[in-house]
């Protein structure tokens, strides 16, 4: 079984939190709007971006801790790596995101970068914003799939309370 079939089976088996991930990057329209209840919950909040990078040796694994404001509502993920994707086309990195406060993973296995990192022109949009509680940092485990040193850039875009 190749990696693409494996990922498709993961998706179909529901190994992703379906309430949070969009099944594809774009919807029918050129932009995506959450349902009205979710939009109402974002009233009075301000946009915020958490930008981080991590340099990993070939085949190495590392962790990124991102301190976010209490009540941060994650809505989009963008990312990029400094190395081109290997021949299998599944990206030069894979990631797994943890919510330490709830002890919850966003996926049962690490996800390759084309499925989790969007680009600025085509961000990875969550179906509904995911709200972090408390002051526990976001923990992201990254693995370099390339045969070279790789710098992985990651941006979490969301909303926070005024102030």
Nearest to 94 by CA among 24, 144, 161, 149: 144
Higher-scoring residue by pLDDT: 35, 72: 72
Structure tokens at 66: 């991102």
Condensed to tens digits (0 to 9), the pLDDT of residues 106-149 reads: 877 888 777 778 777 777 888 778 888 877 788 999 999 888 89
> If pLDDT is split at 50, 70 and 90, which confidence band does 35 have?
low
- pTM, to two decimals: 0.71
Q: In this predicted structure, what is the pLDDT of residue 99?
A: 85
For the residues 94-105, what does the mean pLDDT come to? Answer: 86
In the Cβ-directed half-sphere of 138, how many Cα atoms lie within 13 Å?
Answer: 27
Mean pLDDT over 56-79 rounds to 89
- The more confidently predicted of residues 57 and 27 is 57
Between CA 107 and CA 96 the distance in angstroms is 7
Write down how long the chain is. 163
Class level of CATH domain 3-161 = mainly beta
- Cβ burial of 153 (10 Å; 0-12, 13-18, 19+) is middle
**Long-range Cβ pairs for the range 18-22 (8 Å, 24+):** 19/127, 19/128, 20/106, 20/126, 20/127, 20/128, 20/130, 21/106, 21/126, 21/127, 22/124, 22/125, 22/126, 22/127
Nearest to 93 by CA among 148, 144, 140, 156: 144
- The answer to whether 100 and 139 are in contact (CB under 8 A) is yes
């Amino acid at each position: 079984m190749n990696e693409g079939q494996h990922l498709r089976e993961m998706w179909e088996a529901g190994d992703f939190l379906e309430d949070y991930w969009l099944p594809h990057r774009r919807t029918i329209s050129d932009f995506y709007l959450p349902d009205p209840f979710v939009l109402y919950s974002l009233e009075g909040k301000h946009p915020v971006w958490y930008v981080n990078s991590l340099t990993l040796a070939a085949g190495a694994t590392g962790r990124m801790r991102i301190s976010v404001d209490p009540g941060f509502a994650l809505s989009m993920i963008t990312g990029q790596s400094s190395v081109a994707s290997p021949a299998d086309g599944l990206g030069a990195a894979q990631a797994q995101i943890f919510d330490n406060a709830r002890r919850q993973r966003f996926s049962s296995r690490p996800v390759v970068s084309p499925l989790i990192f969007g680009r600025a022109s085509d961000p990875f949009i969550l179906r509904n914003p995911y709200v972090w509680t408390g002051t526990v940092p976001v923990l992201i485990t990254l693995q370099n799939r390339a045969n070279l040193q790789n710098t992985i850039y990651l941006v979490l875009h969301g909303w926070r309370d005024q102030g």
